Structure 1
Amino acid sequence: MLSNKDFCFKQFAISQERCAMKVGTDGVLLGAWVNVHNVKNILDLGTGTALLALMLAQRVKNCKISAVEIDEGAFLQARENIQRSPWAEKINIYHQDIADFTQKCGEKFDLIVANPPYFSKGVACSSLAREQARYIQSYSHLDWLNMAESCLAPKGRICFVLPYLTGEILQKQTALYCVERCDVTTKSGKQPQRMLLTFSKIFQPIKKTNLTIYNEQNQYSKDFVALTKDFYLKF
């Protein structure tokens, strides 16, 4: 049963009171932006509320999605969100550490997505769950990328959303090819704050784009509306 605290999209809703990190623009951008051409088998690492898994289930008609979450509260909430959605039969959720899952799953994925913890350890959070969701713990962003690569199909793609400078660093650290990059600016005239990235084992010239969320009049930009209109109720 939905409550007034749930985040409602056009085709599904997210309950999130037991999840440390709530639904945010970064996750929605990634879920709407990733290229789903020829995708059948999808992995969502650190699924949280199951936002990305559900967005991709909406976008890809015939697919199988595996969603992995280590925090018990988030796992239970994500499972409820999935079971309540129109695509419960498409999505399997695992209460597991991402390293264990990627080492033992025995599958190869066409698309792997992640909205990983962004920050180095900082000011203590109100709960351990929020610290796990917000701060890099045992695994660096390169670790996340390497774990994803270990179960990536030969022609598969890995897509992350990261802070802008972190994304710049990660591209230099990995042997994978960055084939697509979108620099995200909150408001016209400001510097980019986020980066959407696609990595592949196969070389191709990088496709670079830019996205601005708000225009000079503090209204949503046409590009942002076009990208997210299948999900947000306000468009």
Structure 2
Amino acid sequence: MSNKPFKFKQFSVSQDRCAMKIGTDGVLLGAWSSLKHQPESILDIGTGTGVIALMLAQRSDAGLIDALEIEENAYEQAVENFEQSDWGDRLFCYHAGFDEFVDEMKDEEAYDLIISNPPFYSEDYKSGNDNRDQARFADALPLTELIEGASLLLSDNGHFDLIIPFGEEKTALQIAASFNLFPRRITRVKGTESSPVKRSLISFSFDETRTAIDELVLEVSRHNYTEEFKNLVSDFYLKL
């Protein structure tokens, strides 16, 4: 995977010091997340390169876009990417663990949109690269801790959006319900029409309403992308 900066239409993301490079999951989430409720404050948990926060800065007028990253190299890279963007005055990255951040901020700040592409490989396997493992393994930020923390930082009318493996969807919905968070919208993502569902994009809120459920197929064939996917990410990717 290349260490070269990843160029989007309105910003560029350096990723040479980040264990986790730009991937489809993060871009999908950053493009899919609804801004119809016009969030004034946004929090990106586990920002990595900062790509999701940058996408939301491009898409929204939110005056406050905070990001959180525990791994030092990724934190420094996110700060650099924010400073080099057109929205550096609205973007701020904290270098801290999520539990520490929640303890400090839960009585200070309520976010209208909380978003996360969390670590989710829970298998008993490690790559040997400590930074990559921390960025990608669920024991670094368990789903229960993530959802509980989000519930403490979310404004009354806010949304909490995340992308997880489809196999974790049922568990995530059960955990969220225990913290009075309910799914507004679920999009299940498949590589192709005939392939199994791979990811779930979920938007939670404190309102218990009927869940809108749909499906997104990414490709017709290898590197031949569906119109639905192209329309979703057309404001960001230079080429498809």
Asked if TM exceeds 0.5, the reply is yes
Q: Aligned AA for 1:23?
A: I
C-alpha distance 89-214 of structure 1, shift in aligned 2 (>3 A)? same
Q: Aligned partners of 2:140, 2:55: CA distance in 1, in Å?
A: 28
Q: Aligned partners of 2:123, 2:73: CA distance in 1, in Å?
A: 22
Q: Aligned partners of 1:4, 1:179: CA distance in 2, in Å?
A: 37
Q: Given the alignment of the two structures, is residue 170 of structure 1 paired with residue 175 of structure 2, yes or no?
A: no
Deviations 1:5-48 (CA, angstroms, capped at 9, x unpaired):
11110000111111111100000000000011221100001110
Q: Aligned AA for 1:143?
A: E
Q: Aligned AA for 2:28?
A: L
Pairwise CA distance, 1:138? 4.6
Moved over 2 A (4+): 121-124
Q: Aligned AA for 2:13?
A: I
Q: Aligned partners of 1:139, 1:4: CA distance in 2, in Å?
A: 25
Q: Aligned partners of 1:136, 1:91: CA distance in 2, in Å?
A: 26
Alignment correspondent of 1:125: 127
Alignment correspondent of 1:59: 59
Q: Which moved more, 1:120-129 or 1:17-26?
A: 120-129
Alignment correspondent of 1:90: 90
Alignment correspondent of 2:40: 40
Pairwise CA distance, 1:190? 1.1
Q: Aligned AA for 1:219?
A: N
1:4-83 superposed matches below 5 A: 5-37=4-36, 38-83=38-83
**Residues 134 and 140 in structure 2, CA contact (< 8 A), matched pair in contact too:** no
Q: Aligned partners of 1:126, 1:145: CA distance in 2, in Å?
A: 28
Give the paired residue count.
Answer: 233
Alignment correspondent of 1:104: 104
Q: Aligned AA for 1:188?
A: E
Q: Aligned AA for 1:45?
A: I
Gaps of 5+ in 2: none
1:132-143 superposed matches below 5 A: 132-143=134-145
Q: Aligned AA for 1:196?
A: L
**Residues 122 and 135 in structure 1, CA contact (< 8 A), matched pair in contact too:** no
Q: Aligned partners of 1:27, 1:233: CA distance in 2, in Å?
A: 16
**Residues 215 and 221 in structure 1, CA contact (< 8 A), matched pair in contact too:** yes
Pairwise CA distance, 1:217? 7.0
CA-based RMSD: 1.5
Q: Which moved more, 1:213-222 or 1:5-14?
A: 213-222
Give TM-score scaled by structure 2 length: 0.93
Equivalent residue for 1:145, pick from 132, 147, 163: 147
Report the 3-state secondary structure (helix = DSSP H, G, I; strand = E; otherwise coil) of the residue aligned with 2:209.
Answer: coil
Gaps of 5+ in 1: none
Q: Which moved more, 1:138-147 or 1:94-103?
A: 138-147
Equivalent residue for 2:157, pick from 132, 149, 155: 155
Q: Given the alignment of the two structures, is residue 183 of structure 1 paired with residue 200 of structure 2, yes or no?
A: no
Pairwise CA distance, 1:187? 1.0
Q: Which moved more, 1:225-234 or 1:60-69?
A: 60-69
Pairwise CA distance, 1:114? 0.3
Q: Aligned partners of 1:90, 1:138: CA distance in 2, in Å?
A: 28
Q: Given the alignment of the two structures, is residue 234 of structure 1 paired with residue 214 of structure 2, yes or no?
A: no
Report the 3-state secondary structure (helix = DSSP H, G, I; strand = E; otherwise coil) of the residue aligned with 2:139.
Answer: coil
1:189-208 superposed matches below 5 A: 189-208=194-213
